[in-house]
Copies of this chain bind each other. A is one copy, B any other.
Amino acid sequence: MHYTPQTFNIPELDGISRETIDEHIGLYNGYVKHANLIREKIEDYSNDPDNNDYAVGEMQRRFGFEFGGMRNHEYYFTQFEGGAKVLPEGTLKTMLERQWGKVDNWYQRFMKIAMTRGVGWAMLYIDRQTDQLVETWVDEQHLGQLADLDIVLALDMWEHSYMRDYPASKKKEYVDAFFRNLNWEVVSRRVS
């Protein structure tokens, strides 16, 4: 198991600064590095299990954090590539309408999830076993990820996503900026 950091081609965004994006991608690279580090350390330490079993166990327990920090951000940054695009006709739109009546109903609910207290992610997944969308809040990178589902939309609500551009008391403005810049065509392709 080894992971290679991705690169992202992100245009100028409206309401999210270049500095924020650059620092944020730096953090992403840290997650990839540490996901790989855990694997390497576990391999090294396993040569002396009597001394290292406890440390191996704790690094393994942390893997979901580093892995989620990697994978979540890959979904996040990719959503800005190509610039803002409206939600096209297609499976995703059909599913949103089927489950929430209209897209705006889904949006109002998702905004509430995004404003959850704490740091983490507002997430929309597809459950291919039951052919439905499911959404939730994930604390940090990994606490409450929905088991076995595929990510469709990933909105980062860690303070590093917005705090260079907005004070803590205005995080709602960041969420608005996120949606203004979202390439819904990228998001839509994830359900096909």
Contact = CB atoms under 8 A, between A and B. Distances in A.
A179 to B, nearest CB: 19
A64 B143 contact: yes
Contact of A136 (B60, B75, B112, B168): B60
Interface size class of A (residues with CB under 8 A): 35 or more
B59 A54 contact: yes
A58 B65 CA distance: 12
A19 B167 contact: yes
A11 interface: no
A137 B61 contact: yes
Given A57-B137, A59-B54, A118-B140, A146 B34 contact: no
A60 B137 contact: yes
A56 B115 CA distance: 12
A3 to B, nearest CB: 7
A19 B163 CA distance: 12
A159 B163 CA distance: 8
B163 A112 contact: no
Contacts of A116: 57, 60-61
Interface of A: 1, 3, 19, 23-24, 26-27, 30, 34, 37-38, 41, 44-46, 49, 51-65, 67-68, 71-72, 75, 99, 109, 112-113, 116-119, 130, 132-134, 136-151, 158-160, 163-164, 167-169
Given A49-B112, A55-B59, A63-B136, 16 more contacts: A24-B168, A26-B169, A34-B117, A41-B54, A44-B51, A45-B55, A57-B112, A58-B58, A61-B139, A62-B144, A64-B144, A65-B118, A119-B140, A119-B159, A159-B163, A164-B167
